[in-house]
Structure 1
Amino acid sequence: MIARQLLLALSPLGIALASCGSAATGEKAPSPAADSGTPFAVEPVAQFDEPWAMAFDAGTGTLFVTERKGTIRFRAPDGTSGEVTGVPKVAYGGQGGLGDFLFAPGQTGATLDRRVVYLSWAEAGQGDTRGAAVGRADLVCTEPTRCSLQNLKVIWRQVPKVSGSGHYSHRLAFSPDGQYLFIASGERQKMTPAQDLGTNLGKIVRLLPDGTPAQGNPFADKPAPTNQIWSYGHRNVLGLAFDAQGRLWDLEHGPAGGDELNLVRPGANYGWPLVSDGDHYDGRAIPRNATRPDLAQSAITWNPVIAPGDFIFYSGDRFPAWKGQALITGLVATGLVRVRIEGDKAIEEARYPMDNRIREIRQGPDGAIWLLEDGEGGRLLKLTPTGAG
């Protein structure tokens, strides 16, 4: 054991300690997954300590990975690896820590010397309170193995900060035109704030790139934070992505059942905690979504849960049959879930079991699919087609 710890400590992409914190969103231990002849080969590339998110730099193809305890590591296409300094202090614990990482649109320079980036994290407040924060910074890389965050500025916060360490959500997505930043804000396991328009908990918010509320938001004439809100009635959104038509979708954890993929419309109420296709963990029933046709209906729900980690709409050429479909990572349904979109509805097409919980997914510059396993020792995996299936 001592030798293993020393080896990991010396690795530039080494892993350190614990696995996923709270299981309060249905994130249970994985069940064994059998190899079912999947249409891709899996290449392990690196290991990380509780990886949560990743993003490719469009200009250089360098991959950046966040680790929940507060580290950002990167890997260049030639295998060179390094670490980013200047990362803000995070409130680590439960589901909290360092979260999403996103490059501002339109940065395609051939050298990774300076980029504008966005990141999210769980931030401590006064007393025993916490909340998600989103910051904007300059990513400055002066050495092949060293980058730093400079001029970091917090541009958005969950309000109010509350007790507990779950349901931060804090996923980030830019609109296809690059004009708007969308942030998923979980209801922090408090349920009722999701229906309260006086808070930004349980909401998806739409901001300008500098963090100010966007003109034309559904409640733009109201004081902050109401003027940030794009949609509400959300529980714990762990995926946020635009499809090829420019439509925003979210991927949301239900309670005991009722994980959802939603087409997000401005001003719409997605029902939590008034309705769900799952029930409370103590067995108390929740009225089903269909009982409230006045509320936004999900494109698809899962019961039992898949406990999604994140998703993408695939747009590459390596897997042509999957183009335009949603590829969803699973923490309970360990592996990938592939979903076809038909109008404003979704249909599950296939599941591809894997050995471990999958936290994150991204499409690489060449159309390959990249995954991050969840927890301590989470591997970075590259998927390429085999021609099977």
Structure 2
Amino acid sequence: MNFATGLELPWGIGFLPDGRLLATERPGRLRVISPQGQLVEPAVAGVPAVDHREHGGLMDVLVDREFVHNRHVYLSYTEAGTAAEADHNGMAVARGRLSIDARALDDVQVIFRQTPKARSGENLGGRMAQAVDGTLFLTLGERREDAERVKAQDLSTHHGKVIRIRTDGTVPVGNPFVNTPGARPEIWSYGHRNPQGIFLHPESGEVWTCEHGPFGGDEVNITRPGRNYGWPVISHGCEYDSCARIGEGHARDGMEQPLTHWVPNAIAPSNCFIYTGERYPAWRGDLFLGSLAGLALWRLELRGPATEPIVARREPLYQELGHRIRDARQGPDGRIYLLTDGAPASILRLEA
């Protein structure tokens, strides 16, 4: 099951067309892994400087759908504030061109910066996905602190949002708030706490996210344009320490309910995807989530149409391994790859 070892605080993985993998390490390194699972030295040059504090650093890596033509790779990371706000940071996305030998990123450009930056180093979000039309989605957390989390309801900030941009950082004309005065035009949806998983549904093309609740209340959401997912006005979780009710309770008109949620125990979901391969036929069409607190890969059986599914069953897998799963993905070979958390950490590959 061990495919690659020796990673330090990794956060995301991506697959190159030639069978190699890319993996991020939060201290600021982008690593290449051979098709045989060997960690290539040295790390890729040209990665932007990251602010590696608390939960931050170099986060996700996304290989462009048109990589064979443009060799573009996208990185999400925490970027330090100016000298006047040296204790602040914010999520950013950079695009670079991976060299043929995969030793360097060239022509690196920052295509998105979160506004405003914040002092907190938690609830960062940071996961990326790319739609068939090429547009990029990025999840952004609300930064946890009381003064920050309320901004998840504020359309003038990026806190607690999912955003959509083009690959050059410009805003698609179809975004839901492009004509709303005072709103950030990149915003796709809002009212999120800390979404660390995102994918585009293979049939419907809709955006799905997996989100950390507070004390309990982790969620899976079908994340539709312009919709409000409630945080911190409503939540199925409760406050840390006291477990006091959050906001107005579990529901409010005009705010979305999750497809499924976990209470009272949190699983701390990382990335998520729907399995479409042939290697594990019994799992085809199931939803999978990595789990940090639950030390498992969660499998959710879905029933009904892709646009209005129900969760018929859910079960934790591989708990006996005792690993925090930081990323979970289906590879081009149809296998499932799991990225463990920590130092050292590994990439696991599930065999049929």
Query: How far off is 1:234 after superposition?
Result: 0.4
Question: Equivalents in 1 of 2:67, 2:168: separation in Å?
Answer: 17
Identity score, percent: 39
Query: How far off is 1:335 after superposition?
Result: 1.5
Task: Give the equivalent residue in structure 2 for 1:178.
Answer: 133
Note the alpha carbon deviations across 1:289-342, whole angstroms, 9 max, x for none: 643142111000001110112112111111111112111111111021001233
Question: Equivalents in 2 of 1:370, 1:288: separation in Å?
Answer: 39
Note the alpha carbon deviations across 1:240-290, whole angstroms, 9 max, x for none: 011222121000000001000000111100000000000111322125764
Question: Equivalents in 2 of 1:182, 1:224: separation in Å?
Answer: 21
SS of 1:260's partner is: strand
Greater RCO structure (CA 8 Å; 6+ sep) = 1
Of 307, 332, 337 in structure 1, the residue corresponding to residue 293 of structure 2 is: 332
Question: Equivalents in 2 of 1:225, 1:76: separation in Å?
Answer: 44
Task: Give the equivalent residue in structure 2 for 1:261.
Answer: 220
Query: How far off is 1:178 after superposition?
Result: 3.2
Q: Cα gap change, 1:225/1:377 in structure 2, threshold over 3 Å: closer, same or farther? A: farther
TM-score, with length taken from structure 1:
0.82
Give the number of aligned pairs.
335
Q: Cα gap change, 1:384/1:118 in structure 2, threshold over 3 Å: closer, same or farther? A: same
Query: How far off is 1:356 after superposition?
Result: 1.5
Question: Equivalents in 1 of 2:168, 2:322: separation in Å?
Answer: 41
Query: How far off is 1:85 after superposition?
Result: 0.7
SS of 1:137's partner is: strand
Task: Give the equivalent residue in structure 2 for 1:351.
Answer: 316
Does 2:337 align with 1:370?
A: yes
Of 231, 245, 249 in structure 2, the residue corresponding to residue 285 of structure 1 is: 245
8 Å contact from structure 1 (residues 243, 324) kept in 2:
no
Runs (4 or more) in structure 1 with deviation over 4 Å come to 287-290
Gaps spanning 5+ residues in structure 1: where? 1-41
8 Å contact from structure 2 (residues 155, 182) kept in 1:
no
Note the alpha carbon deviations across 1:2-49, whole angstroms, 9 max, x for none: xxxxxxxxxxxxxxxxxxxxxxxxxxxxxxxxxxxxxxxx23432200
SS of 1:95's partner is: coil
8 Å contact from structure 1 (residues 249, 262) kept in 2:
yes
Task: Give the equivalent residue in structure 1 for 2:35.
Answer: 77
**Paired residue type of 2:139:** A
SS of 2:344's partner is: strand
**Structure 1 segment 4-83 matched on structure 2, within 5 A:** 42-57=1-16, 59-79=17-37, 81-82=40-41, 83=43
Task: Give the equivalent residue in structure 2 for 1:132.
Answer: 91
Query: How far off is 1:141 after superposition?
Result: 3.1
Q: Cα gap change, 1:253/1:247 in structure 2, threshold over 3 Å: closer, same or farther? A: same
Query: How far off is 1:216 after superposition?
Result: 1.3
Q: CA RMSD in A?
A: 1.7
TM-score, with length taken from structure 2:
0.91
SS of 2:197's partner is: strand
8 Å contact from structure 1 (residues 263, 344) kept in 2:
no
Question: Equivalents in 2 of 1:108, 1:355: separation in Å?
Answer: 37
Task: Give the equivalent residue in structure 2 for 1:238.
Answer: 196
Does 2:111 align with 1:158?
A: no
Residues 249-258 or 291-300, more deviating: 291-300
8 Å contact from structure 1 (residues 271, 289) kept in 2:
no
Gaps spanning 5+ residues in structure 2: where? none
Question: Equivalents in 1 of 2:230, 2:208: separation in Å?
Answer: 16
